[in-house]
Amino acid sequence: MSKNVFLRDVGNIRSQLIDLCERGRYASAQFMLAGAGCNAQTHPALWEYLARQSAAAGVAAVAHAARRLLWEAGWRTADVALSEARHFLDAGDHVTAVFLIEHVFGKLPEDPAARLLLARCHLETARARGAEGPTRTDAEAAQQLSDGIAPETADDLLLLVDLLRFAGEFDAALAQLAAAADRFGGDPRLTMRAASIQEQRGDIAAALALWQEVTRQPGPTRKEALFRQIAAQARLGRSDAVTAEAGALLRERLSLAERIRLALLMGQHGMVEALTDQASQGGDPADPLGAIEAAEIGDMLLDAGYIGLVHWLRRQKLGVSERAKTVLEAVGLGLQAERAPRRSFATSVTLRSPDFMVPIAEFLQLPPKPAGWPGEGRTPEKLLLVNFSLAAGGAERQLLELVKALLADRLTPDQIDVACFTLARDRGHDRFLPELQALGVSVHNLMTRRIANRTLPPEAERLISALPLPLRDDTRAIWHLVNELRPDVLHGWQDKSALACGLVGHLLGLGRVVLSLRNMSPETRRDPDLVRLRALYGDFAATGHFRLTANAEAAIADYAGWIGCAPERLTLLRNAVDDSRFSPALRAPGAAGTAPLRIVGIFRLAPNKRPLLWLRTVAALARQCGRPLCPVIHGSGPLGPEIVTEARALGLDGIEIHSGSTAPEDLYGSADLVLLMSRVEGVPNILIEAQACGIPVAACDVGGVREAMHDSGLLLPADPAPEAAAAALAAWLPAALTTDPARRVAFAQRRFGRTALATRAMALYCGTAEEP
């Protein structure tokens, strides 16, 4: 009897299979089954046994081979599908994994394991795409997959939470966490996720409380929570807390990567350089840098724009990530490249992104344009306006005013597109969306917009991939939209959008690019993230066919001084006020001379607006002025709790603090006086609107305040003491309250009318504005 004949006996085959598996000889078992002619179609149970046993023993190749044969033989069981899906998921092939699950379990599996695995597939797919921008999952799929499922482990719960939060479904994600709090309450990762979600939705104070909760618990998550806590304090503008907590963290034993992260967080460039120098020498001698930490350091530096240091690390043979290597090679900083900085660390320090790519046109090797290009043009067929969001802010309101003005002039709704980086409802980023949509213009949400092909042309990728974050993501997002729409005019509104629009303007060779810088220069505003992009501002100012605008003469002078260009390179594009909404008609009848005087402040409760100085000034005025006062603040922000405490301490018990009110009549209807005490301002809309309503205004002489104020208003010194400011107010008030309001109204309508805005903007779009 031949061996084959003997082996055809299934019982013997099974015995031999069991024997081989018990001895760990899975490959032999696979060959034995194949050699015995037991294929998966005829003997699926044997192959399934082999698949399970080999998988349990960690012999993935044999297990996968067995399952593949089973799948091809039509033996598509739940177990086979799930195991194969995990296999493909681990290999990074999310698409095949989704196919396997949906083929067996359908689009919305009832089986919890299948549903969780499908959720993981979606999340991993989003993360893989996230290499080209923020991670985003599909909201509908996230809701469906997480609905009605009770995760059994904390990891499963976090999976679903992540799926939801990356879809922007923050409330649902928090609800998942809350529902499972009892079961996994001791796991600090849940608190950390909740904190991250609160950050994403913009509730930094809530996030901070959660991070503080985690830092009180010892364990491996504490250090990460400390970092996040410091970042949250910084976002809240609590610099003292940032310093104190970062000081405490400095006394802890941190890895080199952690110290660099802390230095970046604290904006201490010299410290970043010192630590990178140490990293380039291999790190702490007692604890040399590992490959993962080295790559992490390289990526952090790349994201922060320290491209020369990344190059230095690579030259010093410290392992950097494949991403970093690709970027270095693409921008001519390969190991052998000519652009490579010469020999010293000090030289590498000076090579920063985006500065090293300036002039951008040269970097992209664009043919030079003749002076005056593209000349006078026609009315644009397509205008794309880009802004960060449509939140309830002054700049956003001005964007709306601009669109209204353009529509009232000569453009039609189909000629105007508006794009925003975010329109998240739960963060209030869509405040003006309905009003804008009602005008009939197209509005694009860059965060959720589907992009069919994410691949950029090599030149665009070369430039964009070397940019620091978040400019890199912003530029990438806008590039796809602009490439699709091909507008005649691209108009970036506010610095963040303007910077990305300028780069896209270069990349796509647009003839008309208008970049509206608002407020004051980043240096005046003490915005460290924008300050480091000064070279880019300089490039745009030097690019002949780009037109930079600012909304005040003071802003122009401030920007020009900071950029180092002639003020003529910036065009004045004043704000506009909607005189149909802001007029004396909405004011209540004037208060009697003995009634409490309603002093209104409308500002964000943030350090730049100096709300505490506002309170102290009002308190001093209450002491100096014979008339009772009723202070009213409209606004919200990180300093809310401090303001309440300070008001109480100052005896301003009758103070009214409102948040969320934006209706003109709520803001100005009962105001006798509008007072601003900001440290930095551009042209405050509040002053213009108040005067359009006929209300007297007083403000510190900063930025464009002087330009926004009728001569009947009160200009206080830029940095006044409360008592002195109150004395000036007390002296000014009697005349201010009796001045004819019509004078203020006429001033606001004349200088800040919508028609003037439209005329100026159309001149920029058509190329008929004065040549700088």
Partner 1 sequence: MTGRPQRLGVMGAWGDPALQLLEDAYPEADLIQITDPIADAGGVDHLILCTQDLALAHFEALLRAGLPCTLLLRRPRAAADQLVFQRGLDWLAAALGPRLPTGWRLAALSAAAAEEISGLMGHPVTPLPGLPKISADRPVLPLDRRKEMQTFAFGTGSGPRETRRTRIDQYNWVRLRRLAVLHAADAQDRDLSDLVAYANGTAAAGPAARPASPPCVISVVPNGVGLGHVTRMMAVGKALQRECGARVIFWSFSRAAEIIRAAGFEVFLRQTAAHLDAHPPDWRQWETLEFAAALRQFRPGAITYDGATFDPFMIDALNQPGCGRCGVAWIRRGMLQRGSDAQLLEAEEYCDLVLEPGDVAISCDAGPTRTREAQFKGFSRYHYVPPVTLKPYLQSYDRRRAKRLLSLGMGRHCLVSLGGAFGNWEELRGLIEKHAAQQRVRLIWARSPLAPAPKGTSAQTDIRQLYPLGSYLAAFDGVISATGYNSFHELMLAYDGPVLLAPTNQDRLDDQVARASYAAERGWAELYRVDTPQPQEEIVARFMADVRRGARVAGRPDPQYGADEMARAIATLAARYR
Q: How far is CA 445 from the centre of its chain?
A: 13
Tokens standing for residue 183: 């079961």
Phi, psi of 195 (to 5 degrees): -65, -40
- Binding status of residue 281 toward partner 1 by CB under 8 A: yes
- Binding status of residue 266 toward partner 1 by CB under 8 A: yes
- Binding status of residue 284 toward partner 1 by CB under 8 A: yes
Which lies closer to partner 1 via its Cβ, residue 278 or residue 437?
278
Q: Which of 57, 150, 250, 644 binds partner 1 (CB under 8 A)?
A: 250
Please tell me what DSSP assigns to residue 633: E
Which window, 96-104, 237-245, 301-309, 590-598, contacts partner 1 (CB under 8 A)?
A: 237-245
- Binding status of residue 339 toward partner 1 by CB under 8 A: no
- Binding status of residue 273 toward partner 1 by CB under 8 A: yes
d(CA 452, CA 711): 55
- Would you put residue 154 in left (φ > 0), alpha (ψ -120 to 50) or beta? alpha
Residues 529-558 that bind partner 1 (CB under 8 A): 531
Give the DSSP per-residue string, 206-241.
HHHHHHHHHHTS-STHHHHHHHHHHHHHHHTT-HHH
Which lies closer to partner 1 via its Cβ, residue 25 or residue 222?
222
- Binding status of residue 254 toward partner 1 by CB under 8 A: yes
Helix (H, G, I), strand (E, B) or coil at 698: strand
Q: Which of 11, 58, 220, 270 binds partner 1 (CB under 8 A)?
A: 270
Residue 680: name the closest of 606, 612, 617 by CA. 606
d(CA 196, CA 213): 13
- Binding status of residue 178 toward partner 1 by CB under 8 A: no
- Binding status of residue 304 toward partner 1 by CB under 8 A: no
Q: Please, what is the minimum distance in Å from the beta carbon of residue 499 to partner 1?
A: 18
Which window, 263-271, 470-478, 596-604, 662-670, contacts partner 1 (CB under 8 A)?
A: 263-271
- Binding status of residue 740 toward partner 1 by CB under 8 A: no
- Binding status of residue 263 toward partner 1 by CB under 8 A: yes
- Binding status of residue 719 toward partner 1 by CB under 8 A: no
Which lies closer to partner 1 via its Cβ, residue 113 or residue 254?
254
Q: Please, what is the minimum distance in Å from the beta carbon of residue 271 to partner 1?
A: 4
- Binding status of residue 338 toward partner 1 by CB under 8 A: no
- Would you put residue 703 in left (φ > 0), alpha (ψ -120 to 50) or beta? left
Q: Please, what is the minimum distance in Å from the beta carbon of residue 345 to partner 1?
A: 6
Q: Please, what is the minimum distance in Å from the beta carbon of residue 605 to partner 1?
A: 22
Which lies closer to partner 1 via its Cβ, residue 268 or residue 445?
268
Q: Which of 246, 300, 418, 507 binds partner 1 (CB under 8 A)?
A: 246
Residue 476: name the closest of 758, 104, 238, 132 by CA. 132
Q: Which of 16, 278, 483, 739 binds partner 1 (CB under 8 A)?
A: 278
Which window, 344-352, 455-463, 569-577, 639-647, contacts partner 1 (CB under 8 A)?
A: 344-352
Which lies closer to partner 1 via its Cβ, residue 276 or residue 575?
276
Q: Kindly write out the interface string for residues 494-533 of this chain, putting x where it contacts partner 1 by CB under 8 A and - elsewhere.
A: -----------------------------x--x-x--x--
Bridge-based pairing state of the strands 283-284 and 287-288: antiparallel
Amino acid at 357: M
Q: Please, what is the minimum distance in Å from the beta carbon of residue 681 to partner 1?
A: 19
- Binding status of residue 275 toward partner 1 by CB under 8 A: yes
Q: Please, what is the minimum distance in Å from the beta carbon of residue 273 to partner 1?
A: 7
Residue 298: name the closest of 290, 307, 289 by CA. 307
Q: Please, what is the minimum distance in Å from the beta carbon of residue 244 to partner 1?
A: 5
d(CA 162, CA 181): 16
According to DSSP, the residues that pair with 633 across neighbouring strands are 601, 657
Helix (H, G, I), strand (E, B) or coil at 491: strand
User: Cβ distance 645 to 578 under 8 Å?
Assistant: no
Q: Buried (b) or exposed (e) across 543-553, using 16+ Cβ within 10 A?
A: bebbbbbbbbb
Please give the C-alpha separations between residue 352 and each of 308, 310, 723, in angstroms, as whole numbers: 6, 10, 46
Give the DSSP per-residue string, 533-601.
THHHHHHHHH-TTEEEEESSHHHHHHHHHHHTS-GGGEEE------TTTSSGGGSPPPPPTTSPEEEEE
d(CA 76, CA 82): 10
User: Cβ distance 180 to 151 under 8 Å?
Assistant: yes
Which window, 260-268, 449-457, 509-517, 739-747, contacts partner 1 (CB under 8 A)?
A: 260-268
Amino acid at 442: S
According to DSSP, the residues that pair with 714 across neighbouring strands are 698
Q: Which of 77, 135, 143, 243 binds partner 1 (CB under 8 A)?
A: 243
Q: Please, what is the minimum distance in Å from the beta carbon of residue 167 to partner 1?
A: 37
- Binding status of residue 345 toward partner 1 by CB under 8 A: yes
Give just the sign of the alpha carbon dihedral 201, 206, 210, 215: positive
Helix (H, G, I), strand (E, B) or coil at 630: strand
Which lies closer to partner 1 via its Cβ, residue 352 or residue 598?
352
Sequence-distant (6+) residues with CB within 8 A of 585 are: none
Which lies closer to partner 1 via its Cβ, residue 312 or residue 668?
312
Which window, 205-213, 262-270, 374-382, 597-605, contacts partner 1 (CB under 8 A)?
A: 262-270
Please give the C-alpha separations between residue 198 and each of 159, 235, 245, in angstroms, as whole numbers: 17, 13, 21
d(CA 175, CA 154): 15
Q: Please, what is the minimum distance in Å from the beta carbon of residue 247 to partner 1?
A: 3
- Binding status of residue 244 toward partner 1 by CB under 8 A: yes
Which lies closer to partner 1 via its Cβ, residue 337 or residue 346?
346
Which lies closer to partner 1 via its Cβ, residue 279 or residue 758?
279
CB atoms within 10 A of CB 575: 26
**Site residue total, partner 1 (CB under 8 A):** 36
User: Cβ distance 761 to 705 under 8 Å?
Assistant: no
Q: Please, what is the minimum distance in Å from the beta carbon of residue 563 to partner 1?
A: 12
User: Locate tokens 């950390």: which residue?
Assistant: 192
Q: Which of 3, 343, 378, 750 binds partner 1 (CB under 8 A)?
A: 343
Phi, psi of 701 (to 5 degrees): -85, 75
Which lies closer to partner 1 via its Cβ, residue 457 or residue 528?
528
Cα Dmax for the chain = 121
Phi, psi of 445 (to 5 degrees): -95, 105
Q: Please, what is the minimum distance in Å from the beta carbon of residue 258 to partner 1?
A: 11
Which lies closer to partner 1 via its Cβ, residue 251 or residue 450?
251
Q: Please, what is the minimum distance in Å from the beta carbon of residue 257 to partner 1?
A: 13
Q: Which of 219, 220, 247, 368 binds partner 1 (CB under 8 A)?
A: 247
Which window, 244-252, 480-488, 510-518, 605-613, contacts partner 1 (CB under 8 A)?
A: 244-252
Q: Which of 134, 202, 237, 267 binds partner 1 (CB under 8 A)?
A: 267
Which window, 31-39, 337-345, 428-436, 677-685, contacts partner 1 (CB under 8 A)?
A: 337-345
Q: Kindly write out the interface string for residues 194-233 of this chain, putting x where it contacts partner 1 by CB under 8 A and - elsewhere.
A: ----------------------------------------
Which lies closer to partner 1 via its Cβ, residue 336 or residue 453?
336
Which lies closer to partner 1 via its Cβ, residue 354 or residue 394?
354
Residues of this chain that bind partner 1 (CB under 8 A)? 239, 243-244, 246-248, 250-254, 259, 263, 266-271, 273-275, 277-278, 281, 284-286, 343-346, 523, 526, 528, 531
